[in-house]
């Protein structure tokens, strides 16, 4: 341990710590912009400057290592002056239309300017020529608001191992973008949206579908159905000041009803449906000596596009199952339409997703039938929150409501789909009982839970030991697949989620301030909300859902049937890195 003082407070921190990390231990706040815990510490923005006794000039706290007896001052006149100066310099080349910015009120630059009293622009001068890139179906890049902090670049390269964006040119002319000044739509971008969560300002945001959804709701010729993903209930409350880690399922259903949707179903039903199809597919592959193993889950569209782009040799290993919201969309436009005498072409399906890649997924021609896309529009959690606010709904005070039956009924296995390891656990609950004919003593498969990047386990299915693995983030997917390719690892079943932590930290989720990320394990906190809801459910296995049984009895016949394959399964395509 190293002993030092920060603002006169004695602090002990592990050797190798930075001043910023030591200050955190003493609950001393040092502002940052380019720093992102566990992702980037480069000292580029110069907002975290501090005074160190005996040192020449000011030091960047995020990169300056501590030493024995060091005296640090974080709040001197010189420190405040230079922080304010650096903010003013950033604003000199920044689009300051804050009131119309999607991040207004949740912008780290805006907050710092307020804290340091930046109310003039003394260095207002030449501005770089910029353009707005709107060609991606999921992500909009507006470089007029970019502050070149490089947090998005580090996330894309280090966490996701994709490298779709980077820095070009030098000095004042530095820009963040794609190679050869291409659009994100022409890059290896997998639409995961992790760059949006990393961005401290409004330079990156999802491509909005709010106006399209409002227009559909107000169109008397359309029957508009909405479905929220499992992870949405774990995070929507954060947009309204409610605590992180508490599911707001009842309030979510109530808000969706009040927005004017004709039916409010639940993607959790689609998750239960996915387990029936995917579990059946896994059992079939395990008994077929010629089947492609390991079978890999296909619920995460960011991961699917990553596989198609970087690991096309694993396409035969992907489960042919559509993702849960696409399965439910197809079911709404077939089973539900037929049972209720509604022309499926007049049904407009809206999915509320924790994921920006779902916007890309919904447009895939492979996810359609009879000339109709399974899902017509995708909203992120942030977009839904804006709609609720636009409608004047006081979310925090809403009484709980229920989803509409039959396609709103689900089990605990479905809700944990939103956490890394959840799809694997839900599948094992059903596959184990279908194969062995035994009832599980405990449905909690702890070995596949948690936020470790790659997890492994073995499950005994009547003497057949099934080797499973779970990975989250495409960066960890790369490590796992490389090990499989090299013959270092052998598995029968793999779950991969494209985002770190799974859907609970998807690119469409509420944005958490980088300062809070230093103190909160967002992945674990949000996942806990889903596991809590699962443990409180009367039914916790997908095959026990009576509404699932009803839909199979009345329409799909059985899991893996011809009709099920027509509507609930799909195929994948190899992609070039630059299209």
272-302 pLDDT per residue, tens: 999 999 999 999 999 999 999 999 999 999 9
Helical axes 210-217 vs 381-390, angle rounded to 10°? 50
Strand ranges in 434-479 using DSSP code E only, listed in sequence order: 454-461, 464-472
SS (H, E, C) 119-136: CCCCCCCCCCCCCEECCC
Quote the CA–CA distance of 325 and 266 in Å, as a whole number. Answer: 9
Quote the CA–CA distance of 472 and 494 in Å, as a whole number. Answer: 11
Structure tokens at 502: 């799974």
Nearest Cα to Cα of residue 478 among 248, 311, 308, 242: 311
Beta bridge partners of 460: 465
Quick one: average pLDDT of 538-545? Answer: 97
Confidence of residue 232 (pLDDT cuts 50, 70, 90): very high
pLDDT for residue 550 is more than 70 = yes
Q: In what order do the strands lie in the sheet with 454-461?
A: 295-296, 493-497, 464-472, 454-461
Quote the CA–CA distance of 249 and 488 in Å, as a whole number. Answer: 42
Element (H, E) at 384: helix 381-390
- As a CATH number, domain 2-75 is 3.10.20.740
Quote the CA–CA distance of 425 and 42 in Å, as a whole number. Answer: 39
Strand ranges in 411-481 using DSSP code E only, listed in sequence order: 454-461, 464-472
Give the pLDDT score at 136. Answer: 97
Element (H, E) at 232: helix 232-235
Q: State pTM to two decimals.
A: 0.96
Q: Which of the four CATH numbers 3.30.70.2860, 3.40.50.1780, 3.30.413.10, 2.40.160.40 does domain 211-568 have? A: 3.40.50.1780
H helix runs in 99-165, sequence order: 108-115, 151-154
Domain ranges of the chain: 2-75, 91-206, 211-568
Q: Compare 128 and 381 and report the one with higher pLDDT.
A: 381
Strand ranges in 310-405 using DSSP code E only, listed in sequence order: 347-353, 368-369, 372-373, 377-380
Q: Is 371 helix (H, G, I), strand (E, B) or coil?
A: coil
Q: Do domains 2-75 and 211-568 have the same CATH topology?
A: no
Give the pLDDT score at 129. Answer: 87
Catalytic residues: 278, 281, 299, 319, 358, 361, 366, 503
Backbone angles phi, psi at 396, to 5 degrees: -65, -25
Residue-averaged pLDDT of the chain = 96
- pLDDT per residue as tens digits for the range 6-46: 999 999 999 999 999 999 999 999 999 999 999 999 999 99
Quick one: average pLDDT of 163-177? Answer: 92
CATH class of 91-206: alpha beta
Confidence of residue 171 (pLDDT cuts 50, 70, 90): confident
Q: Is 541 helix (H, G, I), strand (E, B) or coil?
A: coil
H helix runs in 296-366, sequence order: 301-310, 324-331, 337-339, 357-362
User: What is the separation, in whole angstroms, between the first and last Cα of the chain?
Assistant: 52
pLDDT for residue 578 is more than 80 = no
Q: Compare 579 and 456 and report the one with higher pLDDT.
A: 456
Give the pLDDT score at 530. Answer: 98
Give the pLDDT score at 579. Answer: 62
Quick one: average pLDDT of 565-573? Answer: 97
């Amino acid at each position: 341990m190293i002993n030092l003082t920060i603002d006169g407070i004695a602090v002990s921190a592990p050797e190798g710590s930075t001043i910023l990390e030591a200050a955190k231990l003493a609950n001393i706040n040092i502002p940052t912009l380019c720093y992102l815990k566990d992702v980037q510490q480069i000292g580029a923005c110069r907002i975290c400057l501090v005074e160190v006794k005996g040192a020449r000039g000011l030091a960047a706290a995020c990169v300056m290592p501590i030493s024995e007896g060091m005296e640090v001052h974080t709040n001197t006149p010189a420190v405040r002056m230079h922080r304010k100066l650096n903010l003013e310099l950033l604003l000199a080349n920044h689009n300051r239309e804050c009131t119309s910015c999607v991040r207004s009120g949740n912008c780290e630059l805006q907050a710092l300017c307020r804290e340091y009293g930046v109310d003039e622009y003394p260095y207002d001068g030449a501005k770089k020529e910029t353009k707005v890139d709107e060609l991606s179906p999921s992500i909009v890049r507006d470089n007029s608001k970019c502050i070149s902090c490089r947090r998005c670049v580090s996330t894309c390269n280090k966490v996701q191992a994709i490298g779709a964006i980077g820095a070009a040119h030098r000095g004042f002319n530095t820009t963040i973008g794609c190679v050869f000044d291409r659009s994100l739509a022409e890059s290896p971008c997998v639409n995961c949206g992790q760059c949006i969560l990393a961005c401290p300002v409004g330079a990156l945001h999802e491509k909005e579908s709010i106006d399209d959804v409002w227009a559909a709701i107000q169109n008397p010729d359309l029957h508009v159905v909405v479905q929220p993903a499992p992870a949405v209930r774990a995070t929507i409350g954060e947009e309204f000041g409610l605590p992180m880690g508490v599911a707001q399922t009842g309030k979510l259903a109530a808000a969706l009803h009040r927005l004017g949707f004709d039916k409010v179903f639940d993607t959790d039903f689609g998750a239960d449906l996915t387990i029936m199809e995917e579990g059946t597919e896994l059992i079939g592959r395990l008994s077929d000596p010629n089947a492609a193993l390991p079978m890999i889950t296909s619920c995460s569209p960011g991961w699917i596009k990553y596989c198609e782009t970087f690991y096309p040799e694993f396409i035969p290993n992907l489960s042919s199952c559509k993702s849960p919201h696409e399965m439910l969309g197809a079911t709404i436009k077939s089973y539900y339409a037929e049972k209720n005498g509604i022309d499926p072409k007049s049904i407009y399906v809206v999915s509320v997703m924790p994921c920006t890649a779902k916007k890309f997924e919904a447009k895939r021609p492979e996810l359609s039938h009879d000339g109709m896309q399974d899902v017509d529009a995708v909203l992120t959690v942030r977009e839904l929150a804006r709609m609720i606010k636009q409608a004047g709904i006081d979310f925090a005070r809403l009484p709980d409501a229920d989803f509409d039956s039959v396609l709103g009924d689900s089990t605990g296995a479905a809700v944990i789909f939103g956490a890394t390891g959840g799809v694997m656990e839900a599948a094992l609950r059903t596959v184990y009982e279908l194969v062995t004919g035994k009832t599980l003593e405990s449905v909690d498969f702890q070995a596949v839970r948690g936020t470790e990047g790659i997890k492994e386990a073995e499950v005994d299915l009547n003497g057949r030991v099934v080797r499973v693995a779970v990975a989250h983030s495409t960066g960890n997917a790369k490590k796992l697949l490389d090990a499989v390719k090299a013959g270092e690892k052998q598995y029968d079943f793999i779950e991969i989620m494209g985002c770190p932590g799974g859907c609970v930290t998807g690119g469409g989720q509420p944005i958490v301030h980088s300062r809070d990320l230093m103190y909160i394990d967002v992945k674990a906190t949000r996942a806990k909300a889903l596991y809590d809801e699962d443990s409180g459910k009367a039914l916790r296995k997908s095959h026990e859902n009576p509404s699932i049984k009803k839909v199979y009895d009345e329409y799909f016949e059985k899991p893996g049937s011809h009709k099920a394959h027509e509507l609930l399964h799909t195929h994948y395509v190899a992609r070039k890195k630059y299209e």
